[in-house]
Amino acid sequence: MGTEVRHHDRDGFATGLRAFFEYRDLGVRGATGGRFGAHVIRAIPGRRTDGSWHRHRLDFQFVVVLSGEVTFDYEDIGRVTLRAGSTVLQPPLIRHREVGHSDDLELIEITSPAEFETETVDPPWDVPPNLRPETAR
C-alpha cells in the first residue's frame, strides 16, 4: 500500500447507496484492497430519505459531519441530530434509519470493509410509538 492523496473536488461525486446522496471516493478502498472504505457524502438538494429502518453488514462504520445536519433513529439510543463537528460510531448490525437531513449536509464516512450489504429490517420491537414509521413526523 502506498501513500494516497486526494484533494478537495466539488465535482468528483457520483451516485451511490442512497438516491438522495452523492458520494466521492477518497481512495482508501483501492489503497487497502477493499479492507476499508472512506468517502465524502453530500446531500442532493431537494431529495429526501424514505425513512426505512435498515442495518449494514460490516465490521466498522464511523461518520464525521462536516456541514449541515442529519437526524437518525437508533435502536439503542433513540433519536439524535448530528451537526457540523458531530461524530457517530455505529456498531455492526445496529438497526437505524435516517429521519431527515439539511440540503447542505456533507459528511465523511469510514467503513470496514469498503463493500458491504445493507438490508431493510423491521423497526426494533421496543421503539417508542413516536419513532415508529407510521407515526414519525
Instruction: Name the more confident of 73 and 17.
Output: 73
| Distance, CA of 30 to CA of 82 (rounded, Å) | 29
Cα dihedral across residues 108, 112, 117, 122: positive or negative:
negative
pLDDT tier, 133 (very low <50, low <70, confident <90, very high otherwise) = low
DSSP per residue, 11-71: T--B--SSTTEEEEE-SHHHHTTTS-EEEEEEE-TT-------EEEE-SEEEEEEEESEEE
pLDDT in tens, 99-112: 999 999 999 999 99
CATH for 21-118 (3.30.70.20, 2.60.120.10, 1.10.10.10, 3.10.180.10): 2.60.120.10
pLDDT in tens, 15-65: 666 777 898 989 999 999 999 999 999 998 997 888 889 999 999 999 999
Contact 95, 121 (CB under 8 A): yes
Q: Is the pLDDT of residue 3 over 80?
A: no
Q: Which residue has the cell 429526501?
A: 48
Instruction: Please tell me whether the peptide bond between 123 and the residue prior to it is cis, using omega within 30 degrees of 0.
Output: no
> What are residue 131's phi and psi, to 5 degrees?
-105, -5
pLDDT in tens, 78-107: 899 999 999 999 999 999 999 999 999 999
pLDDT tier, 4 (very low <50, low <70, confident <90, very high otherwise) = confident
